[in-house]
Chain A
Amino acid sequence: MTINTLAKGGWHREQMTCFQKMEKVIVAMQDPDMGMKMRNQRLLITVIPHAMTGKDIIDWLMQNYNINEEESLHLGGFLVQYGYIYPLKEPRCLVLRPDESPYRFQTPYFWTSTRWPVSELDYAIFLAKKNIRKQGELMEYEKERYSVLHKRINHTWDFVVMQAREQLRASKQRRKADRIVTECQEQAYWLINRPPPGAPNALDMGLERPSSCTTRMTLWPLNAMICCSNTIILSVRAYVLMCRFVKYSEQYQNHDPIMQGCLPSNPWISDDTAHWTMNAALVPIPTRLRVERWSFSFMELLSDAMGRQEFMMYLEKEFSAENLCFWQACEEIRHGESSKIVEKVEEIYKNFLAPGAARWVNIDSKTMDKTLEGIKHPHRFVMDDAQMHIYFLMKKDSYPRYLKSDLYKSMLSKAIVPQETKKSVFPFVRRQRHSSPSPAQAAEDSRSKGPQAGSD
């Protein structure tokens, strides 16, 4: 065989990681103690040594990796697809069959990870051999490629034919078993490197990524380390931190539709959108789970439109609604258009910060001074400190009191607990899936209705 072993250049890092892991599996499978029991396989009248059946492969994978049959077949399938194991029977098809079909380990010479610049010359010799050995053995696509190659490397065609003849002659002098094995090895190699049209290209790895990251060297980590080590000195013991994950998962478990299901039913499963309708942004009566969630954290309350609305009503009763209004106005600056920053900052100053303002917010003097100074040159983050101050004020003071208030408690008791939808009597009759208005449509409608339209 003439295969060029010239440049072993940079391969995709991703491929190499995969191949290294696959090779680890292959080597483990051939381990003398823990590996597979190989035997002679009969192929028509010839006996091939060191072979195994598809079923053997699957059983070994199941046992050694503690996985089920489906996964084992899937994994084994890749070992064959990438050419680390090849079939002896029907060598054209790189598929793992879970039966008595015989397979063999590919010789490392032909491993996909050893990067070959696969040469046209070698492919031409391979096809020529096939053509000479048995006329008409070439598949349609192979015939096409053969003639394309013939045109392209015509000048060396004599060499190609001569090499092919030479290799065929040499192989005739070997035992039939060896001949079959070599043919299968070669066929498998070419099935991967020159896949038939329509077959999955095992070597398709997407866009090329740079093979190394040396040209940009940064020493910034020192700066990060300075920050990090401060955090470590101040941080709590790991145990307490780990417990937070457990607590969070427990708290939210009932709210996780994938884990606990959702009421009345999961729309994706039942085709019924009732769950979404009941949990729309603004509804007359919210669901119980939703109202409960407002008590998990202040952020939960604020990120729910209804929650915010309820909280605003409560603050109005307490004569501290300006805090939430201020917070919302600051959010609009932070996330709004750059061009509107100056005018929005003006508005906020007029309404919330100026002495004698209609909705004056109570910020400590240090923050107020800093903010007033910053307003002279307004930018996106100029309100950050003031906003945070008010946020934490609401979080520590108003929020806990809201949760204990009658307003919240009555909302909780009024809230709906939807009935679980009974399974349909005719499960095979599919419900009609209704479309919903696109958000883009809703926006366009409200724009076209103009200022006469009612507010949200």
Chain B
Amino acid sequence: ILFIFEQYFCHIVLSPLIPEMATQEVQLNETLAHLKSESESLKSKLEEERAKLHDVELHQVAEKVEGLGQFVMKTRRTLKGHGNKVLCMDWCKDKRRIVSSSQDGKVIVWDAFTTNKEHAVTMPCTWVMACAYAPSGCAVACGGLDNKCSVYPLSLDKNENLAAKKKSVAMHTNYLSACSFTNSDMQILTSSGDGTCALWDVESGQLLQSFHGHAADVLCLDLAPSETGNTFVSGGCDKKANVWDMRSGQCIQSFETHESDINSVRYYPSGDAFASGSDDATCRLYDLRADREVAIYSKESIIFGVSSVDFSLSGRLLFGGYNDYTINVWDVLKGTRVSILFGHENRVSTLRVSPDGTAFSTGSWDHTLRIWA
């Protein structure tokens, strides 16, 4: 079946209507309609094949696994200092420092353990939706409505304005939704409202690779912890989660089972799967080798969208930050909800587990960050 379609691989952009191009437009539309129906039929054939191999669900296999007891998790630290909604945060590899960014344009580096603020940067734009800590701990990257991702080396000189040494790395044509350093301080991966992801060289600001395939804003991304370390996953407003090869720029796998925008994606610790959180109020687990969704984490009483997800160190627990101000803790294997945590006074916008798994941090529209353990 397959070889016929190799020739149909294409990327088409609909142009605005110009009267002279009307007949061309009609022809183009007809070809598109034809291709679309071919695409749909291949898609359904593929689902049939997948279904044949799909003989069991994750929670069925996990029936024999011991259930989890009650979890007592509390807020251990509250970080106050942002003047507006906290939009994003990231952990430093030293397991105690974090960087956070806010709607008011401020990016703050904290020692979360002591709750001291160590650095603060004022961005030239509001809505700083993305921030990331460099693996060395010596710099942070951030961006948002300025459509850029900038790297700020962290200086300890109290008199020095961090903005002075700022390096502009990424340039998109719409807002920056997420950014992440790869294994070193030298490369950054970004996703944007312009529908693309891109890999950049920090030193030169050069674009190393771009990733096209999403049909709408890309909202999140996560790098795979695999041995060969060459893939990442992204999620967007087109309800798709795509897995990409960083070297070639190709989309190697795609998953579309969510019913609304995907706000967050995170790899399972082994790298064989990833979880996603969406505005449809569900979290889902996708197995990369089985090439399908293997679990849904939802409850009828959970109505509000998930803004961010992350796994505990063993991958047994999935934490979800929700727009109803709560955090729901899920048993990844059994698919049940283990616990619900209250505390924030507005929606939880970002959630990350610390590098050694001792705690997780949440940022909220209530202007604060909390550390839970």
Assess whether A242 is in contact with B58, with CB atoms less than 8 Å apart. Answer: yes
A65 at the interface (CB under 8 A from B): yes
In the complex, what residues of B have CB within 8 A of residue A259's CB? 68, 312, 314, 316-317
B22 at the interface (CB under 8 A from A): no
B360 nearest CB neighbor, chain A only: A258
Kindly state the separation between the CA atoms of A293 and B137 in the bound complex, as whole angstroms. Answer: 25
**What is the size, in residues, of chain B's interface with A at 8 Å between Cβ atoms?**
129
Using known A-B contacts A78-B324, A259-B316, A259-B317, determine if residue A269 contacts B373 with beta carbons closer than 8 Å: yes
> Restricting to A160-203, which residues have a CB under 8 Å from any CB of B?
200
Assess whether B203 is in contact with A268, with CB atoms less than 8 Å apart. Answer: no
A371 at the interface (CB under 8 A from B): no
A220 at the interface (CB under 8 A from B): yes
B30 at the interface (CB under 8 A from A): no
Assess whether A262 is in contact with B358, with CB atoms less than 8 Å apart. Answer: yes
Kindly state the separation between the CA atoms of A231 and B301 in the bound complex, as whole angstroms. Answer: 37
B125 at the interface (CB under 8 A from A): no
A317 at the interface (CB under 8 A from B): no
Using known A-B contacts A245-B58, A443-B138, determine if residue A14 contacts B261 with beta carbons closer than 8 Å: yes
In the complex, what residues of B have CB within 8 A of residue A335's CB? 182-184, 186-187
Assess whether B215 is in contact with A216, with CB atoms less than 8 Å apart. Answer: yes
In the complex, what residues of A have CB within 8 A of residue B53's CB? 232, 235, 237-238
> Restricting to B58-104, which residues have a CB under 8 Å from any CB of A?
58, 60-62, 65, 68, 73, 76-77, 85, 92-97
B20 at the interface (CB under 8 A from A): no
Contacting residue for A249 out of B92, B155, B314, CB 8 A: B314
A257 at the interface (CB under 8 A from B): yes
A17 at the interface (CB under 8 A from B): yes
Assess whether A65 is in contact with B314, with CB atoms less than 8 Å apart. Answer: no
Using known A-B contacts A70-B342, A216-B215, determine if residue A268 contacts B314 with beta carbons closer than 8 Å: no
In the complex, what residues of B have CB within 8 A of residue A215's CB? 13-14
The bracket for how many chain A residues form the interface is: 35 or more
B251 at the interface (CB under 8 A from A): yes
In the complex, what residues of B have CB within 8 A of residue A429's CB? none
Assess whether A444 is in contact with B342, with CB atoms less than 8 Å apart. Answer: no
Using known A-B contacts A18-B303, A218-B213, A435-B116, determine if residue A276 contacts B96 with beta carbons closer than 8 Å: yes
In the complex, what residues of A have CB within 8 A of residue B124's CB? none
A414 at the interface (CB under 8 A from B): no
In the complex, what residues of B have CB within 8 A of residue A206's CB? 85
> Restricting to A194-224, which residues have a CB under 8 Å from any CB of B?
200, 206-207, 209-210, 213-224
Kindly state the separation between the CA atoms of A337 and B202 in the bound complex, as whole angstroms. Answer: 8
Most B-side CB within 10 Å, residue of A61, A72, A221, A276: A221
In the complex, what residues of A have CB within 8 A of residue B228's CB? 388
Contacting residue for A258 out of B73, B113, B118, B216, CB 8 A: B73
In the complex, what residues of B have CB within 8 A of residue A61's CB? 301
Using known A-B contacts A74-B324, A219-B12, determine if residue A249 contacts B42 with beta carbons closer than 8 Å: no
For the complex formed, measure the closest distance between the CB of B330 and the CB atoms of chain A, giving whole angstroms: 13
In the complex, what residues of A have CB within 8 A of residue B332's CB? 245, 249
> Restricting to A292-325, which residues have a CB under 8 Å from any CB of B?
298-299
B27 at the interface (CB under 8 A from A): no
Using known A-B contacts A70-B342, A440-B137, determine if residue A337 contacts B111 with beta carbons closer than 8 Å: no
Assess whether A257 is in contact with B356, with CB atoms less than 8 Å apart. Answer: yes
Kindly state the separation between the CA atoms of A18 and B8 in the bound complex, as whole angstroms. Answer: 38
In the complex, what residues of A have CB within 8 A of residue B323's CB? 14, 18
A134 at the interface (CB under 8 A from B): no
Assess whether A338 is in contact with B204, with CB atoms less than 8 Å apart. Answer: yes
Assess whether B357 is in contact with A13, with CB atoms less than 8 Å apart. Answer: no
B257 at the interface (CB under 8 A from A): no
Assess whether A248 is in contact with B111, with CB atoms less than 8 Å apart. Answer: no
In the complex, what residues of B have CB within 8 A of residue A207's CB? 127, 129, 175
A244 at the interface (CB under 8 A from B): yes
B327 at the interface (CB under 8 A from A): no
Kindly state the separation between the CA atoms of A75 and B304 in the bound complex, as whole angstroms. Answer: 10
Assess whether B259 is in contact with A221, with CB atoms less than 8 Å apart. Answer: no
B228 nearest CB neighbor, chain A only: A388
Assess whether A339 is in contact with B9, with CB atoms less than 8 Å apart. Answer: no
Using known A-B contacts A215-B13, A227-B253, A249-B315, determine if residue A244 contacts B272 with beta carbons closer than 8 Å: yes
A381 at the interface (CB under 8 A from B): yes
Assess whether B305 is in contact with A268, with CB atoms less than 8 Å apart. Answer: no
Kindly state the separation between the CA atoms of A218 and B193 in the bound complex, as whole angstroms. Answer: 17
Assess whether A18 is in contact with B77, with CB atoms less than 8 Å apart. Answer: no
Contacting residue for B252 out of A71, A218, A227, CB 8 A: A227
What are 13 of the A-B contact pairs (CB < 8 Å)? A17-B281, A18-B281, A78-B324, A217-B12, A227-B253, A238-B294, A249-B316, A251-B314, A253-B316, A257-B356, A259-B316, A335-B186, A338-B201
Q: 3 tightest A-B contacts by CB?
A: A439-B137, A213-B216, A252-B314
Excluding A219-B8, A256-B312, A435-B113, 8 further A-B contacts by CB distance (< 8 Å) are: A13-B260, A17-B281, A18-B303, A209-B217, A213-B216, A222-B8, A223-B9, A388-B228
Binding site for B on A (CB under 8 A): 13-14, 17-18, 21-22, 25, 61, 65-67, 70-72, 74-75, 78, 200, 206-207, 209-210, 213-229, 231-232, 235-239, 241-246, 248-253, 255-259, 262, 266-269, 273, 275-276, 279, 298-299, 331, 334-339, 380-381, 384, 388, 391, 433-436, 438-444
